[in-house]
Amino acid sequence: MSVFGEATLSAFLELLSTKLLDSIKAVLNHAEEKQIKDEAVKNWLDDLQDLAYDVDDILDEFAYQELRLKLQKTQAQASTSKVQKLIPTCCTGGHFSPISFMFNAKMISKIKAVTDRLNSLNTRRSSLGLNVIMSQGANSKGNKPRLQPTSLMDGAVEYVGRASEKQEMLELLKSNNSDGVCVLSIVGMGGMGKTTLAQLVYNDPSIKESFDHKSWVCVSDDFDAVNITKTILRSLDADSRDENDLNLLQVKLKEKLSGKRYLLVLDDIWNESYSDWTILRAPFGAGTKIIVTTRLEKVSSNVDSMKAFYLDKLSHHDCLSIFAQLSLKARSFDGHPQFKEIGENIVRRCNGLPLAAKAIGSLLRTVTDHSEWEKVYESEIWDLLEDPYYEFEEEEIILLWRAEGFLQSKAKIQGKGLGNQYFQDLVSRSFFQISSKDKSRFVMHDLMNDLAQLVAGEICCRLEGEKQQKFSHRSRHSTFVSDDWYHIVKKFEAFYQMTSLRTFLPLLHQGDRFYLTSVVLEDLLPRLSYVRVLSLSGYEIYDLPDLFENLKHLRYLNFSRTRIKCLPDSLCTLYHLETLILRDCSKLKNLPLNIGNLVNLYFLDIRGAGSIKRMPSGFDQLTKLQTLSNFVIGEGDGHLIRELKNLSNLRDNFCLSGLENVKGQDAREAKLNEKLGIDGLELQWGTDLENSTRKEEVEERALDFLRPQKKLEQLIIENYGGVKFSSWIADSCFKNLSSLKLRNCKNCKSLPSVGRLPLLKDLSIIGFDQVQKIGVEFFGENQLNPFASLEILSFESLPNWKEWDTCEGDEKVLKLPSLRELSIKTCPQLLGRLPTHLPFLQKLEIHRCASLVVSISSFPLLFKFSIRGCAELVDGCSSPAKEFNIPADRTMLRFGNSEYFEIPGWEELASLSQHGFSLVGHRFISIWRCPQLQSLEAEEVELQPDKISRVESLQIYDCEMLNRLPQVLHELTFLTVMEIHNCPSLVSFAENNLPPNLKKLRITYCENLEYLVDEKEDNKSTSSTLCLLEDLEIYKCPSLMSLSSKGHKNICNQLQLLDITECSKLSFLFSNTKFPITLKHLRIGECPELEYIAQEFEENACLESLLIFRSGIKSLPRGLDKLIHLQEMWLDSCSNLVSFEETGLLTTNFRAFVVDGCGNFGALL
């Protein structure tokens, strides 16, 4: 061992400061520009970046060793309360402060090597002339000037391609041809220019002359009628008083706009609720024009647009103009003919996307080398229009940024706040986009991903499937994408050459399980000594090797969704660790005993790790902890709640469980009221309320002292054993509390006066066995406007609740004025009626309330209601509801305008029309457990297709007597999805033709179904009728003989997935001798009579997977060598199958090939 003293380390830092930060930094800007055409400069920059990473690693190791020594000294000589003061500034964002260390020769060798490389870079810098050029200025001799614009001002980008849309919108807005509100919508995918077009119209001078007022509101995914209305009012009157009562706000707005011409732009709407739009629109009248921008066509439909402007891809000419403006600062390539051909080729690959043209144009803005433009054009990663394969959450990305050291700031905004700023900035620039599937998640368009990879170069690499890729020793960040379930050593060999890797991040499909051999971890972990981000999320890992002490630089560690049972002791030597994710580790029983050593821990997530029954001591040392999902207090460990006292930085959502083990004084010491960052709090007691050790008075006192900070937004109390609630729960000082859920508080005899909470929007009461009456105490005595903001109210499992006094006698007091959703379930003794004055109620659910009379006539905005097991439903026929679910055994109602129509369990129903029901006007229809139902319409009723064309989805389950479907089924032009289950009397699905736009069809357990399409003798329609069916599944239909009775109907011309299982009589599949060219996935199982699929595969067959098991197949179609897309083939228990044809089978894309139980199978030729 050698002594590496403070003087030596200081000299090393001085070298870095003078030579790296001063000398080299001065020439970086010019080097960045010069590298485009000078390969030597590019290599110099790459070497410089590589060195910078290595220097950072050395400094980080110094910081680690300093922290290790100080922790050891603290543990040996002082109490744990002094640890925070001894944490070095290098670990808290300050400057490195060297002290004496004992290092081995390896560390000294690293420093010497870095010093030599730094000196070499300085020498090369001079030989490249960078210092001379910088001293003479950027435009010195020999430095070719950057491209100059031919006509446009710097930074000016003209909006092209939408002139006609703009002009038409202006004309419609300025016309006076509407007595009501006029709405225009702009619809298109992200990056199409919706907002820009709206801005051009909004800022046009003629608009100012035509309207008295105008407002612009960016809505995004938070469609809140109150906030939007407040924003509009503030734009009209800056001094308007802040109100939260929607009624008052809309009255004021109506007064402001009375007799005025007004233009409103609602930008980026995602909310698809028609009723929400109706509420927002209420105060606007004649003279108001509204422009809506959205990505969703349904939004445009809901807002009743006078006209929708669909922004499609731009023409090649317009796209070229945008690209030229961004890359050349010119309107065209006329002034730069050397780039015209390559520029036009690049624009063609942009495929008319304005976003693509802008992004690539910006990338090439300063690139003057023709070969670099060619590299962009010839890139193999141009797949711009495919759906993104990976969705992510904002928090996930911010934690990764933090681990990589990207969130460095001297400003007041730190940590997550700075990350939020960065993330939202990238969203606003369409670098990230909101997922269309889940609005809480985001995607990165393939184009942006490709551009990021292009810029990153060798620093980032991605191992994808079986693709062979070259990895550089410079690579620092790596992702691993795979569809295979089992990952062995060979798949990870590519990482062995990346000796300085900082990021190891497998991207596995959410929900799938992947297997990783133990040898991989034992071999790989020691090689990742510089890694900062390590994720093994989603792998079927049961045990972890105790090999983490070498990962000194690790900041981010993700074991979520693994099967690990314990964490190795060496994990507690990761002193730099900031993020530890153990979410859904259901087998994990304990956290490590020395967790207090992880003094830099910032984020700990143990949600879903239900086997953890207690926390170890030492949390009081984790003073940097900001996110702690759960704190579990074990039996006999009630005092450990005191360790929360030091965690003053806790924020976001926090759950305390095991509170039955906590006494009042211990709860007081947790000081929850001082943790100002906690937005959501969950207080959980144990489920065993009958336990004799639990005392009502002890739990009441504990709850008294668990009072949170006043700005709390969400509160959950579960399994509380006290008889009464603490007064703080209904304290009006909790002005931000918007969600309150009280669950399984079975000893409480009354509810708290939560009607006093001014901004409470969502209230849920579940499992209160002792409550018999809800009345004035619930609303709050002398409360003039109880539940002023409440929108969602639900009661469930109140078995002894008999009376609800809604206090409606006092007309001066308006109860529940904003309620939109009301749900009452399993309250069998509740008598009387519901509140009658609910002007904004949209959704009503009453289930299993046998004594309750339900009247719905006074709910003018009711959109959806579901009534099951109540005493009586009255006034139903006057309801405007659009979604309807009711056991219709005692009703004779028609709901002609209901969008969602469901009939569950009506045993006497023989036909719809005989009981006043009809398919007319509905969009989504579901009928189940109607054993006597024979037809959906009476024979004498002739349906008019124009009235039933709205049907989009039809589901029929467990209707044993149903023997036919409507004859006009093929005329349901909007029908896209259909499911039929357990209808044993059904012989055929359709006569002559399928519905023309049906895309997905699932038929299961229909034992007498013989054909999908029954072609009648008198059928005069042609056999070439277009069918758009893409997904067909038939299961357990033992009478099925073929898809078409005569084999004339080609119902498979668009089919992509076909799954037929347990159809014992199926002997004939495709009407054409050739295999359907569009079919991608074919699964046939337990069809013993089916001997042949088709005679031949076509040249362009799309087949990707083929699975045949326990069937009578004798041979496969000819032309197996044409299946260039085939990736999987499984042949199992097909005893009649002999062999393949002589042409053989292409195997270039194969992931799986299995032949099992095929005794007569010969050879693969």
Residue pLDDT, tens place only, 17-35? 555 556 666 667 667 767 7
d(C-alpha 912, C-alpha 903), whole Å: 10
Give the pLDDT mean for 729-738. Answer: 93
pLDDT of residue 1006: 95
- State yes or no: pLDDT of 997 exceeds 90: no
Give the pLDDT mean for 931-935. Answer: 85
Task: Name the residue among 645, 688, 689 with its Cα closest to residue 670.
Answer: 645
Residue pLDDT, tens place only, 272-331? 777 788 888 888 988 899 999 987 777 877 787 788 888 877 777 888 888 888 887 777
d(C-alpha 323, C-alpha 330), whole Å: 9
Give the pLDDT mean for 1105-1131. Answer: 86
Residue pLDDT, tens place only, 663-695? 999 999 999 999 999 999 999 999 988 888 889
Give the pLDDT mean for 46-73. Answer: 86
The amino acid present at 597, given as its one-letter code, is N
Give the pLDDT mean for 1098-1121. Answer: 86
The model's confidence at residue 66, banded by pLDDT at 50, 70 and 90, is confident
Angle between helix axes 316-328 and 340-350 (nearest 10 degrees) is 120
Q: 1109 forms bridges with which residues in the sheet? A: 1085, 1132
- State yes or no: pLDDT of 436 exceeds 70: no
Residue pLDDT, tens place only, 690-708? 888 889 999 999 999 999 9
Residue pLDDT, tens place only, 441-452? 888 766 667 677
| Residue 739 vs residue 525, higher pLDDT | 739
d(C-alpha 811, C-alpha 807), whole Å: 9
- State yes or no: pLDDT of 522 exceeds 80: yes
Record the tokens describing residue 219, joined without a space. 């809505």
pLDDT of residue 627: 95
The model's confidence at residue 112, banded by pLDDT at 50, 70 and 90, is confident
d(C-alpha 886, C-alpha 881), whole Å: 12
Quote the DSSP letter at residue 198. Answer: H
pLDDT of residue 814: 64
Q: Residue 290: which H helix or E strand, with range? A: strand 288-294
d(C-alpha 215, C-alpha 865), whole Å: 36
- State yes or no: pLDDT of 86 exceeds 60: no
Residue 342 sits at φ, ψ, to 5 deg, of -65, -35
Task: Name the residue among 74, 207, 60 with its Cα closest to residue 576.
Answer: 60
Give the pLDDT mean for 485-494. Answer: 63
pLDDT of residue 127: 79
- CA of 421: how far to CAs of 165, 191, 395, 442, in Å? 34, 21, 12, 15
- State yes or no: pLDDT of 734 exceeds 90: yes
pLDDT of residue 392: 87
Quote the DSSP letter at residue 882. Answer: S
Give the pLDDT mean for 836-845. Answer: 87
d(C-alpha 367, C-alpha 1096), whole Å: 52
**Chain-centre distance for alpha carbon 228:** 24
d(C-alpha 869, C-alpha 847), whole Å: 6
d(C-alpha 528, C-alpha 503), whole Å: 9
- State yes or no: pLDDT of 832 exceeds 60: yes
Q: In this structure, are residues 74 and 82 in contact, taking their beta carbons and an 8 Å threshold?
A: yes
For the entire predicted model, the pTM comes to 0.67
Quick check: helix, strand or coil at residue 166?
helix
- State yes or no: pLDDT of 617 exceeds 70: yes
Quick check: helix, strand or coil at residue 447?
helix
SS (H, E, C) 72-129: HHHHHHCCHHHHHHHCCHHHCCCCCCCCCEEECHHHHHHHHHHHHHHHHHHHHHHHCC
d(C-alpha 654, C-alpha 683), whole Å: 9
Quote the DSSP letter at residue 1118. Answer: B
pLDDT of residue 2: 39
For all residues of the chain together, what is the average pLDDT? Answer: 79
DSSP 494-535: GGGG-TT--EEEEEPPTT--BEE-HHHHHHHGGG-TT-SEEE
d(C-alpha 859, C-alpha 874), whole Å: 13
- State yes or no: pLDDT of 633 exceeds 60: yes
| Residue 1152 vs residue 886, higher pLDDT | 1152
- State yes or no: pLDDT of 962 exceeds 70: yes
d(C-alpha 410, C-alpha 992), whole Å: 73
Record the tokens describing residue 148, joined without a space. 């100059």
- Which range, 95-99, 211-215, 1142-1146, 1153-1157, has the best average confidence (pLDDT)? 211-215
Task: Name the residue among 717, 777, 724, 721 with its Cα closest to residue 749.
Answer: 724
Give the pLDDT mean for 944-963. Answer: 78
| Residue 580 vs residue 905, higher pLDDT | 580
What is the number of H-type helices and E-type strands within the chain?
25, 47
Give the pLDDT mean for 129-142. Answer: 44
Task: Name the residue among 714, 688, 713, 715 with its Cα closest to residue 699.
Answer: 688
The model's confidence at residue 455, banded by pLDDT at 50, 70 and 90, is confident
- State yes or no: pLDDT of 142 exceeds 50: no
pLDDT of residue 91: 39
pLDDT of residue 916: 57
pLDDT of residue 156: 38
Q: Residue 764: which H helix or E strand, with range? A: strand 762-766
What percent of the chain shows pLDDT beyond 70? 78
Task: Name the residue among 524, 540, 406 with its Cα closest to residue 463.
Answer: 524
Q: In this structure, are residues 271 and 299 in contact, taking their beta carbons and an 8 Å threshold?
A: yes
Q: In this structure, are residues 1128 and 1105 in contact, taking their beta carbons and an 8 Å threshold?
A: yes
Q: In this structure, are residues 57 and 500 in contact, taking their beta carbons and an 8 Å threshold?
A: yes
With a CB cutoff of 8 Å and minimum separation 6, the contacts of 756 are 730, 731, 732, 780, 783, 786
